[in-house]
Amino acid sequence: MVATYSSTSNNADTSAQAAVLDAPDSTYSLLYFDTIGILGPTHNLLSLSGAQWQQLYPQDWENEDNLDKKSTPFEVMPVLYVHSKDGSQTVAVAECKTIELYLAQKYNFLGKNTYERSLISSFVSSTASLWDDFIYSAVNLKATPEVKQEQIAAFLTTKVPNWIRIHEAHLKANGLNGHYVGDAISLADLRAAAMVGLIQRLPPAANLITPETAPGLIEIKKVIDSHPKIVAWRETEHSKSLRFSRASPQLPRASGTKLNDRQGNKTGGI
C-alpha cells in the first residue's frame, strides 16, 4: 500500500505539519540511493542552510516485495523526512523538485521579493527541463542502443547548445557575476552548477562549456564550488561515500549510516 498523506479534507487542521516544516530547528533525514544523482542541489542547499541532516538508504529497493517503494508517497526516491526538534513529529516531503523548492524557500534561496522569485523559478524550470531531457536520452532503459545514440546526439548538438546560448544571455544581462539574480546564491545557481557538472562529465561535450563559450555558467559553477560550506560538505566522509550515479562502482558507506525503516522514519531510520 502506498504511504499516503493524512487527509486534508473538511477543513482539516494542518497547522501542526506546517509548524514542523517551518521550524528553524527542524532536522532532516534524506532517503535516496548512495549516489549524488539528482541530489546535488539538495545536498548543497542542506549544506548552505547549516541544518542538521542525515542520509537514509533503502534496505533493498529492487526487492520484489517492494516494501521500500511502498513506504514512500509515490514509490520513488528521494524523500525528505522533516523532524520536529523534540522528535515527536515527522513530515515527509516527496519528489526532488519539491524538496529543492521547500529548502530554497525556507532558507531564502528564492530571492528577496516576488519578482526575483519569479525569475529564479523560471531559470530553475528551464534547467530542470534540460536535466529531464538528459534522463530521457541517456538513461532511457527501454530505448535500443541506436535510438539512445540518436537521443544523446540530439541532446548534445541541439538542446545543450540552446540552453547555453539562452542562459548566457541572461547571465550577461546580470553582469556575469556568478549569479542569475542579484548578487546572492539562489536555487537557479545551484541547479545550473549541477547541470554544468553533468555536461562536463560527458566526453563528447568537452568543448561545449568553456570560459570562451560559456563564461557566465563557468563563473556560476566556480562560485558554488568555492563556497566554504559546500567545500566543507564535500570533504565529509558522507560526501566522499557517494557515487556519481548507480552506474559507478559502489563505495564503502560512511560510518553511522541508517536505513529506511519502511514505516515513515519517524525516529530517523534504523
Report if residue 71 sits inside a domain: yes
State which residues form the domain around 164: 114-227
Contact 215, 232 (CB under 8 A): no
- Residues 103 and 175 reside in one and the same domain: no
Q: Is 139 a residue whose pLDDT tops 70?
A: no
- Residues 209 and 160 reside in one and the same domain: yes
Contact 53, 78 (CB under 8 A): no
Contact 227, 206 (CB under 8 A): no
Question: What pLDDT, on a 0 to 100 scale, did the predictor assign at position 141?
Answer: 56
Q: Is the peptide bond before 78 cis (omega within 30 degrees of 0)?
A: yes
Q: Which residues contact 135 (CB under 8 A, 6 or more apart)?
A: none
Closest by CA position to 102, among listed 147, 45, 158: 45
Q: What is the mean pLDDT of the chain?
A: 93
Question: What pLDDT, on a 0 to 100 scale, did the predictor assign at position 257?
Answer: 87
Percent of the chain with pLDDT over 90: 74
pLDDT bracket for residue 9 (50, 70, 90): confident
State how far the Cα of 114 lies from the Cα of 120, in Å rounded to an integer: 10
- Residues 101 and 129 reside in one and the same domain: no
Between 22 and 266, the higher pLDDT residue: 22
Closest by CA position to 267, among listed 91, 27, 87: 87
State pLDDT tens for residues 235-250: 999 999 999 988 888 8
In this prediction the pTM is 0.94
Q: Is 78 a residue whose pLDDT tops 80?
A: yes
**How many domains, in total, are found in the chain?**
2
